[in-house]
Amino acid sequence: MKQGMFTVRENIPITRDVYKLRLEGDTSAITNCGQFVNLKIDGLFLRRPISVCDVEGDILTVVFRAVGAGTERMAAWKKGDSADILTGLGNGFDTSLSGERPLLIGGGLGCTPMMLTAKRLISEGRKVSAVLGFNTKDELILEDELCSLGADVTVTTADGSYGIKGFVTDALGAMDYTYFYACGPEAMLKALCRETKTPGELSFEQRMGCGFGACMGCTCKTLAGNKRICKDGPVLKKEELLWGD
């Protein structure tokens, strides 16, 4: 973990309430795809955990939805503003387990860590497919970016306004994959544990207090006991999870 000051280079809306924020600073602590950062918001006590979407040199990209006091203030950040950020948080995905045909699965903003994950896997010579799930076409993000990397992308929408009508699990039947990496709402992750035919890794979206394991406020039940999503995760393996009813 490293704390540093970043400078806003770009902050633009990409859907009605979702923003792409690009910041310049020391990204050296971000060593794996699937990690997250914790951003300090002036006037608020708790930082805001946001998945890393991409890193290129000293440029960090995150994508967030403006839904509350903290993220609404982030949406107002302008070019040249400064941000206090903790970087290098979380364990990230283990791409050494991917096999030749890894499948990336993202639901809503859970699609954002799939950008850097796809880059990593493609650079390792893997044939990457992705399933991105949204409620409606107006929420669509990152399809073009993942396609431009060379990933084979399928989109689902719950209302059928774009791509396959239904949820990400409705697209799995036709997929040929050796391992999967997923991020999204807990209900989606639970369904994937039932429907996927291979081992895989799931990144949990969870409210956090500290973001680095001190407060025990974000725990998940596993075969090895309770694990902290911020410190022991946010990525956990499918086979270690214990789901409640």
Per-residue pLDDT 10s for the chain (245 aa) are 899 999 999 999 999 999 999 999 999 999 999 999 999 999 998 889 999 999 999 999 999 999 999 999 999 999 999 999 999 999 999 999 999 999 999 999 999 999 999 999 999 999 999 999 999 999 999 999 999 999 999 999 999 999 999 999 999 998 999 999 999 999 999 999 999 999 999 998 765 555 555 555 557 777 667 777 767 879 999 988 877 65
65: number of Cβ within 10 Å: 18
Which helix (DSSP H) or strand (DSSP E) does residue 220 occupy? strand 219-222
Residue 45's contacts (CB-CB under 8 Å, 6 or more residues apart) are none
CA-based nearest residue to 155, from 122, 181, 129: 129
Residue 170's contacts (CB-CB under 8 Å, 6 or more residues apart) are 156, 164
97: number of Cβ within 10 Å: 14
Around 45, how many Cα atoms within 13 Å sit in the side-chain half-sphere? Answer: 3
pLDDT at position 224 is 62
Rounded Cα distance, 171 and 193, in Å: 15
pLDDT at position 208 is 54
pLDDT at position 39 is 95
pLDDT at position 155 is 98
Residue 152's contacts (CB-CB under 8 Å, 6 or more residues apart) are 127, 128, 129, 130
210: number of Cβ within 10 Å: 18
CA-based nearest residue to 151, from 189, 200, 115: 115
Q: Which amino acid appears at position 231 of this protein?
A: K
DSSP state of 169: G
Q: Which amino acid appears at position 78 of this protein?
A: K
Reduce the DSSP state of residue 144 to 3 states and report it. helix
pLDDT at position 174 is 84
